[in-house]
Structure 1
Amino acid sequence: MRSLFRIIRRYSLTAGAIICVILLSNVIAFFAWGYQKMEISRRQDFRRSTLETISRELFQENGQWMLGEKGIQELENSDLQWCMGLDKNGQAVWEWRLPENFARSYSNTEIAKFSRWYLNDYPVAIWDAENLLLVVGLDPDFFVRYSEVFPLSDIDMIPQYLKVILAVNAAVILFFVFLLGYRFYKALKPLGTGVEKLSRQEPVRLKEKGMTRDLALQINHTSEILQEQKQRLNKRDQARTEWISGVSHDIRTPLALIVGYTDRLAKSPNLTEEEKKITDTICRQSRLISQLVSDLNLTSKFAYDAQPLHLSECSPALLLRECTADIYNEELEQENGQTEVELDISPEMEKAAVFADGNLVKRALRNLIGNSVRHNPQGCQVMIRLYKKDGMACFCITDSGTGIPQTVVENMDAQTEKIHIMGLRLARQIARAHGGNMEFLRRETGTYDVGIRFPVEQEEKEQLQHCIWEK
């Protein structure tokens, strides 16, 4: 969190610094321009004062024009290079530091030209001193004379120019802000990609540099920890699967012998009725143990995607009838003669087909129907409905018995030893492997019935849709 705050703070400070630099540059440029104008204006005011003093100090004596001491002192302290006074005929009747190469007589045309331009490369200024026209030369290294006439429309456009300047400033600021935002995005994009890979449990190795260095370092460290944990879990899961497979294989042989011998003993004429019941019970329980071991092995394979599906077109109605017949032959007639199974197959499902592994579908149905039989030893009515909905073959199994307890439903995804729900879990795994699902149907009593569904069309096999089961 501290690293993220540092990144945001750095981005904000950089953006703020750019904005401040641009604004400060505008302010400095404005004040520099204003100071320059003030300096020029000050010099112009000082020059005007000098010319006014000179015009007052000029006087004529014995037909000669002279300048008083105060005027001479004023000229000495000014920045003027030279000065001369022209009479009405254009004759230079008075001069101060006027270069030797300058003419001393000028026509009206010449006066008109240099009054707004240059005289021998000197920018000049003129002043009307009543009887004389004062002409002064300015420093050519400091002053430039430029005369221009501006149309009034240009003056009126000054507010528009100011708006344009503000718009340009705003555009520059936005450009830098978006540039920083893009760089910020490029810096964070690898982090987003890394987090996405972490969610898929893929290894991540980001470059640990720039302003996202700390976050990249943490993501890389997290990836290393997750990969190490993944390797340990894979080793553990592989060992667990191999152990379950080995135990299942080792148990099958003695169970087969037990079932075979007890079946022969049950047919022996030398046994009493009580002994025959005992051997029948041993045989049924042995078959149940064999089925539980098989379920354990199968659900372990499904959990780690190690169970291949042998897909083909199957009739769900036929699979349901075969499964029901097997239950009648193996469980109902021997264990619970009070239970009845009723089938309700819709006409459209008689000819429908599912693209599935028929043996696994029968296994799922047998587990669900067998639960209703085994958990209601006093007998019950089992109703199995098969119908089509939303492109799915829906099996709805209800019974008049106790139903599935809520604790079973709540612990379907939990690891618990208090309840045994391997058969239900295996049925759900089989349905999901085919692109279907299994759902529980709540009764008014608080217990549940169960429904399972499989895609009817092959192209819908990957879709996981929620089916609203109907009673």
Structure 2
Amino acid sequence: MSIVKYFSRNLLKFFGLLLGLLFLNFFLFIFILYTDPLDSVVKNTPQNIYYNLKTEINDSSDFSIKSKNLLKANNTWAMVLQSNGEIFKSYNLPETLNKKYTLTDVVKFTRWYLDDYPVFSFIEDDKVLVLGFPRGSYDKFPSNYYNYFSFKYIFLGFIGIILIDLIAIFIMFFYSKKKLLNEITPITDSLRNLSENKSIELEERGNLLEIKEALNKTSEIIERNKIESERWIRGVSHDIRTPLTVILGTSQALNNKYDDDKFEIIEDNVLLIQDILSNLNLTYSLNLKDEVERETFYLDVLLRKVIVDIMNVYEGYSFKLNVGKDSYSYFGNKTLLERLFRNLILNSVKHNDKCDVEVTLNKLKTAFSITVEDNGSIDEKTVEKLQNKVAYDSDGFGILIAKKIVSIHGGKINFSYNNPGLKITIELPN
């Protein structure tokens, strides 16, 4: 499905939900308005009760059993007042009420309340029927009574409608979010992999098809460019090595014949160029890899070998290896780590005329710690430059290669000032 269709369909779903909620709200509103909320409290309206008692108002006898049952069923009390304000007869009258009322009293409770009881008055000849309902069952406004339970019912009904709307919107939001995440997560993961120089392959089906196709095509182009670049670098390196070999051989022959130091300078620079080409190939090769072949070996044995090899070539330098009694068995790429240790130790040797180099190997709780430190002439600014180095510059590929080898093994490398000299700390997870 295309991007436009995908988002159009989701918008239609959203508007469909809103339309459905409008219809639901309408029907719930009608239901609330036309449902009698007083069935459990008041069975009849005051007007209906009056019509049922009308024939008994002027009758001197007590209310009939039928009338009493009606009043009882509606939780209502009743009294009939004479013109002189005295009670003619009553039923279930609260004890707190007076037994006689003035005209002023009648006007007051007709307009407001009688001892907080909502009352309704009905005139029949020279008598007044007063019907009293439970406190809190009706609310009195300026000119009329309004049933408290009706207001409460309608208010709670509206609250219920709002809650239903919120729940429906939340469910729709949660469902849409989950579905969108299912569609977006593979795409964001693929973008992250591309940024980390990894290849991707998304399934070209379902929603957001255009984005998936574009990402797959981008990945194919990147992979093709990687292969072509690697071939080009290898080809150029090979083409350069051939004349370099000729130059080196000729220079050595001339040096043997004429014994001139200038030929040694030529040889050193040829070897330097060959080393640069080797580092260039290794750097690009490592950039194409996220994982390497691994084997089990001992880090302390490897470090001893590297230090001994360097000691046999470089004189005038002091080398020291500090190793504890722990087992230093490690699962990694032995060739790359040997290159790493050799480069870092040689870095101290080549950039200082005379210095002491100390290598320490420790076993931590979850990692191996290797430090290479010297007391050379490097300054703090250069150390900071090494720490932040992420691209090739005049200092060559050595530091970049070291950082990449450590990264491939899931470790960390840190460059700090040793005051004087340089301290390099490596952590390789075990």
**Length-normalised TM-score, structure 2:** 0.60
Match of 1:342 in 2: 319
Secondary structure in 2 aligned to 1:348? Answer: coil
Report Cα offsets for 1:66-114 as digits up to 9, x if no partner: xxxxxxxxxxxxxxxxxxxxxxxxxxxxxxxxxxxxxxxxxxxxxxxxx
1:29 aligns with 2:34: yes
1:356 aligns with 2:332: yes
Per-residue deviation at 1:294? 1.7
Per-residue deviation at 1:363? 0.5
> Judging changes above 3 Å, is the alpha-carbon distance between structure 1 residues 154 and 358 closer, same or farther for their aligned structure 2 residues?
farther
1:303 to 287, 309, 326: 287
C-alpha distance in structure 1 between counterparts of 2:418 and 2:155, whole Å: 73
1:285 aligns with 2:285: no
1:369 aligns with 2:352: no
Q: Is the 8 A contact 1:22 1:173 kept in 2?
A: no
Map residues 53-452 of structure 1 onto 2, 5 A cutoff: 149=69, 155=75, 174-201=163-190, 203=202, 221-263=210-252, 266=255, 268=256, 270-272=257-259, 275=260, 277-305=261-289, 308-309=292-293, 311-330=294-313, 332-333=314-315, 337=316, 340-348=317-325, 351-376=327-352, 378-403=353-378, 404-412=382-390, 415=391, 418-443=393-418, 449-452=423-426
Q: Is the 8 A contact 1:317 1:345 kept in 2?
A: no
C-alpha distance in structure 2 between counterparts of 1:28 and 1:40, whole Å: 20
Equivalences, count: 331
Note the residue ranges of structure 1 that are not aligned, 5 or more in a row. Answer: 49-125, 131-145, 209-218, 461-471
Secondary structure in 2 aligned to 1:438? Answer: strand
Q: Which amino acid aligns with 2:334?
A: G
Q: Is the 8 A contact 1:341 1:384 kept in 2?
A: no
Report Cα offsets for 1:36-69 as digits up to 9, x if no partner: x889859959xx7xxxxxxxxxxxxxxxxxxxxx
CA RMSD of aligned residues (A): 4.7
Note the residue ranges of structure 2 that are not aligned, 5 or more in a row. Answer: 1-6, 60-65, 76-133, 138-147, 191-200
Q: Is the 8 A contact 1:241 1:301 kept in 2?
A: yes
Question: Which is further off, 311-320 or 171-180?
Answer: 171-180
Per-residue deviation at 1:150? 6.7
C-alpha distance in structure 2 between counterparts of 1:379 and 1:8, whole Å: 76
Per-residue deviation at 1:170? 5.2
Bigger radius of gyration among the two:
1
Per-residue deviation at 1:265? 5.0
C-alpha distance in structure 1 between counterparts of 2:355 and 2:338, whole Å: 21
Per-residue deviation at 1:28? 2.9
Per-residue deviation at 1:182? 1.8
C-alpha distance in structure 2 between counterparts of 1:192 and 1:427, whole Å: 38
Secondary structure in 1 aligned to 2:258? Answer: coil
Q: Which amino acid aligns with 1:229?
A: T
C-alpha distance in structure 2 between counterparts of 1:157 and 1:17, whole Å: 37
> Judging changes above 3 Å, is the alpha-carbon distance between structure 1 residues 224 and 257 closer, same or farther for their aligned structure 2 residues?
same
Q: Is the 8 A contact 1:11 1:184 kept in 2?
A: no
Per-residue deviation at 1:342? 1.8
C-alpha distance in structure 2 between counterparts of 1:289 and 1:169, whole Å: 83
Per-residue deviation at 1:281? 3.0
C-alpha distance in structure 1 between counterparts of 2:228 and 2:427, whole Å: 33
C-alpha distance in structure 2 between counterparts of 1:425 and 1:252, whole Å: 23
> Judging changes above 3 Å, is the alpha-carbon distance between structure 1 residues 204 and 191 closer, same or farther for their aligned structure 2 residues?
farther
Q: Which amino acid aligns with 2:324?
A: P
Q: Percent identity?
A: 22
C-alpha distance in structure 2 between counterparts of 1:171 and 1:206, whole Å: 42
C-alpha distance in structure 1 between counterparts of 2:396 and 2:20, whole Å: 61
> Judging changes above 3 Å, is the alpha-carbon distance between structure 1 residues 396 and 231 closer, same or farther for their aligned structure 2 residues?
same
Question: Which is further off, 8-17 or 177-186?
Answer: 8-17
Question: Which is further off, 169-178 or 242-251?
Answer: 169-178
Q: Is the 8 A contact 2:383 2:416 kept in 1?
A: no
**Length-normalised TM-score, structure 1:** 0.56
Secondary structure in 2 aligned to 1:294? Answer: helix
Question: Which is further off, 250-259 or 234-243?
Answer: 250-259
If asked which structure has higher relative contact order (CA below 8 Å, sep 6+), I would say 2
Secondary structure in 1 aligned to 2:403? Answer: helix
Per-residue deviation at 1:164? 8.4
Report Cα offsets for 1:256-287 as digits up to 9, x if no partner: 44445545555x3x433xx1x33333333333
Q: Is the 8 A contact 2:384 2:416 kept in 1?
A: no
C-alpha distance in structure 2 between counterparts of 1:312 and 1:224, whole Å: 39
> Judging changes above 3 Å, is the alpha-carbon distance between structure 1 residues 200 and 288 closer, same or farther for their aligned structure 2 residues?
same
